[in-house]
Structure 1
Amino acid sequence: MPGESFRFIHASDFHLETPLGDLDAIPSHLREAMADAPRRAAKAVFEAALAENIDFLVLSGDLLSPQAAGPHGMSLLLDYFEQLHAKKTPVFWVAGIVDDPPKWPDAAPLPPNVTLFPKNRAVAVPVQRAGRTICVVVGRSSEGRTQLHVPSYRIEPTDEYTVAVGYGTSDADALAEGRFDYWALGGEHNRDEIDGGAEGGAVVCGSPQGRSLDEHGPHGYTVVDVDADQTTRVHSVECDAFRYCRVEVDASEIAAMGGIRNFLGERIGRLQHDNGGRHLLIGWDISITSGEDLQAIGDVEELRTWLRREFGSGAPSAWTASLVVRPPKQYPKSWTDEDTILGDFLRAADKFDKSNGREINLLPYTEEVSGVVGTTASLLADVSPTVREEILDQATLLGVELLRGGKPNLA
């Protein structure tokens, strides 16, 4: 017997307590917009829930830390919960780690349309419309783990469409064992659809607003439509105000564009076109293979300043959050063979780099700098092997830039 069609919104990881990151400087003209970006994205989710013809809202954890977000963040949630209550729209909330239920103050009770699932067991709640059950929502708040425990979601078999709401990571095989029609997952900030996790879909919807270059690309929420035959259609809706972009560049691409500035300007234009008029926060990662490539790029600090001045003040803005040049493994032999300080430096760097297992101990150098004590000194004393090669490469690049002198033409 066919059921009834319905629609719901799935969102998670608002993190209203966390500002945008990966910024060494905050431009004055974007300061207010950056500060408001997480709230603006969360508001977009709730406004969609109020404006669209949905039957319920599913929230999969890490909405906010009440203590860190404070009354400003809590009032946003409570105000929208009350508006949804006025429209008789149920809200199903599975708490993650930052929004652990005991942290929610008793003085700010949730309205009756909000179900905050317990941590110690899974609970199944029927969703009714006009006196008829249209689906069942099953949820359990996190106990502080980042791994989802699927076996704890077992419920009595039902013919109704079932939406399982959880916080944490899992693979398709484990999710499929739950035998739910749709998995609404949270805890990861980047969107992911897990093929085979459920017949209707297993979706990690991600945060509505990215916070770092590791969270690059589109961010938003998910709209799920289920028809009378229980066929599921999943739609991703973008609502981020700022979008992080990671751009990897091979220096060989630069020459064809007539110089580094022309190349970066063209790429920024393309990014702005592709990302729908949003503010962009860009991380450039440029790999070079020769000294000639380094000469073509020129002074990195000057290039970063130019990018921010030229493209960072527009509306929308394309702000360069970081600019990293990956050094070549080999510098020109003619440089190394020079009877100069540069040649001596490159020969010493090459010898050090080939000293397998040799430790880098920067602690003696801290004796010349006042105030470097405690944790900082201990970190300098013992550099992890995993970053040893990168430190050597970057130190060599810095030395080469200083010893070569001058600033090549960047045009």
Structure 2
Amino acid sequence: MSGESFRFIHASDFHLETPLGDLDALPAHLRDAMADAPRRAAAAVFEAALADNIDFLVLSGDLLSPASAGPHGMSLLLDYFDKLHAKKTPVFWSAGIADDPARWPDSVPLPPNVTMFPKNRAVAVPVERAGRTIAVVVGRSSDGRSILHVPSFRVDPTDEYTVAVGYGDADADALAEGRFDYWALGGQHNRSEIEGGAQSAAIYCGSPQGRSIEETGAHGYSTVDVDSDGTTRVHAIECDAFRYADVEVSADEIASVGGIRNLIGEKMSRLQHDAGGRHLIVGFDISITSGESLQSIGDVEELITWARREYGHGTPSSWTTRIKVRTPRSYPKSWQDEDTILGDFLRAAEKHRATEGRDLNLLPFTEEEPSLPSTTQSILAEVSSSERSELLGEASLLGVELLRGGKLKQPVA
């Protein structure tokens, strides 16, 4: 392959219709920034396309659901599409599930520089610069399947550098059969690269802005530089305004630093350093091995309140969205031997644990709440076998916390 060097941007999964998630409360001082974060991240992609002298922009699905994002979201796309059109920059859009081409209003035409690929076939479009073809972009919008159908991307062979744009899950073997130089993939919110999936690279660039504890770490887009000999260099560019972090904590770590609050402080400092000035939304997942470890945690709600007060109001903010304590494998035998309500409770819990909760019957508890709809009662009563052990463990932990004085208040006489 011998041609001209060029540059393009690959972005996907804007989801302009979806706000930040995994928030049990919306902090007043972050409300506006949280609401605007998805738009800011998407705008950063387009601003880079306008400023970085790129040759074309590739968008691989799930930019927005027009009905849910409304005029506010659609106008962002259209305004930037028009700006790119003024610079004669082609935009190639392979739609996913949320941005199904059938959902785009017929009354809102796309500018002539935007190619939205059809759902029923792959289309190959040459990219020209100064009258010479520098690359070919092959794309197809999703037909609703979760798996990318690679055979449908077959087109006539060409000597030009070829970028394939698609949406859906795929593996390296299937992508390699396509024989494309670069696969610009969408449908996954976290960035990943499929080794051996293409001659140069097969990339899920991820969403520009994470939205949940499952979407931790840096988010952004890719800038792709291709040399005249076809050598490809992919650069991950971060543009998220908020960054999610899911921090796993062990009882040993807590003991080593002198307490859970010291450990949270250390973790927050490290996360803030790594985030580079971005706001953080942090969840803590604490694993304890025995009941004694509960003493080092204390009241979880009080701990969350403290963490938010200490670290959630700075600039930038590190907002604690949850602290989850994993069920201990055992409780002290001395607790079970007590002639107290706690002892009775733990002995009953151990009996159920021995049968993995198979003899649990939650229906009587739902009947105590007559206002519950019948469908809700059914869901609560019919716990699947795979969830019974986890539910029993969480119930045991809650009971121990309450009966040992964590949240239980004495009744007023």
**Shorter-chain TM-score range:** over 0.9
Answer yes or no: is the 8 Å Cα contact 2:358–2:388 preserved in 1: no
Identical amino acids, percent of aligned pairs: 75
The one-letter code of the counterpart of 2:338 is E
CA distance in 2, matches of 1:395, 1:347: 13
The one-letter code of the counterpart of 2:106 is D
> Is 1:297 matched with 2:297?
yes
| Structure 1 residue 362: Cα displacement | 2.1
Answer yes or no: is the 8 Å Cα contact 1:359–1:383 preserved in 2: no
| Structure 1 residue 367: Cα displacement | 2.3
Q: 1:351 corresponds to which residue? A: 351
| Structure 1 residue 368: Cα displacement | 2.1
Alpha carbons of structure 1 residues 153 and 29: separation in structure 2 relative to 1, 3 Å: same
Query: What SS does the aligned partner of 2:214 have?
Result: helix
Q: 1:316 corresponds to which residue? A: 316
| Aligned 1:174-193 pairs, distance under 5 A | 174-193=174-193
The one-letter code of the counterpart of 2:122 is A
Q: 2:56 corresponds to which residue? A: 56
CA distance in 1, matches of 2:183, 2:310: 45
CA distance in 1, matches of 2:181, 2:353: 55
Answer yes or no: is the 8 Å Cα contact 2:298–2:406 preserved in 1: no
CA distance in 1, matches of 2:127, 2:43: 24
Gaps of 5+ in 1: none
Answer yes or no: is the 8 Å Cα contact 2:81–2:111 preserved in 1: yes
| Structure 1 residue 266: Cα displacement | 1.1
Q: 2:161 corresponds to which residue? A: 161
Q: 1:170 corresponds to which residue? A: 170
| Structure 1 residue 141: Cα displacement | 0.3
Query: What SS does the aligned partner of 2:394 have?
Result: helix
Larger deviation, residues 261-270 vs 361-370:
361-370
| Structure 1 residue 356: Cα displacement | 4.0
Answer yes or no: is the 8 Å Cα contact 1:288–1:327 preserved in 2: yes
The one-letter code of the counterpart of 1:4 is E
Task: Provide, for residues 265-291 of structure 1, a one-character-per-residue CA deviation record: whole Å limited to 9, x for no partner.
Answer: 111011000111111001100000122
| Structure 1 residue 343: Cα displacement | 1.1
| Structure 1 residue 357: Cα displacement | 6.2
CA distance in 1, matches of 2:359, 2:196: 47
Q: 1:211 corresponds to which residue? A: 211
CA distance in 1, matches of 2:222, 2:303: 39
The one-letter code of the counterpart of 1:81 is F
| Aligned residue pairs, count | 407
CA distance in 2, matches of 1:398, 1:406: 9
Q: 2:103 corresponds to which residue? A: 103
| Structure 1 residue 359: Cα displacement | 4.6
Q: 1:119 corresponds to which residue? A: 119
The one-letter code of the counterpart of 2:304 is R
Query: What SS does the aligned partner of 2:24 have?
Result: coil
Query: What SS does the aligned partner of 1:215 have?
Result: coil
Gaps of 5+ in 2: 408-413
Larger deviation, residues 55-64 vs 376-385:
376-385
Task: Provide, for residues 279-326 of structure 1, a one-character-per-residue CA deviation record: whole Å limited to 9, x for no partner.
Answer: 100110000012221101111111011111111111111001111001
> Is 1:342 matched with 2:322?
no
CA distance in 1, matches of 2:101, 2:228: 35
Larger deviation, residues 47-56 vs 347-356:
347-356
The one-letter code of the counterpart of 1:125 is V
Query: What SS does the aligned partner of 2:272 have?
Result: helix
TM-score (norm 2): 0.97
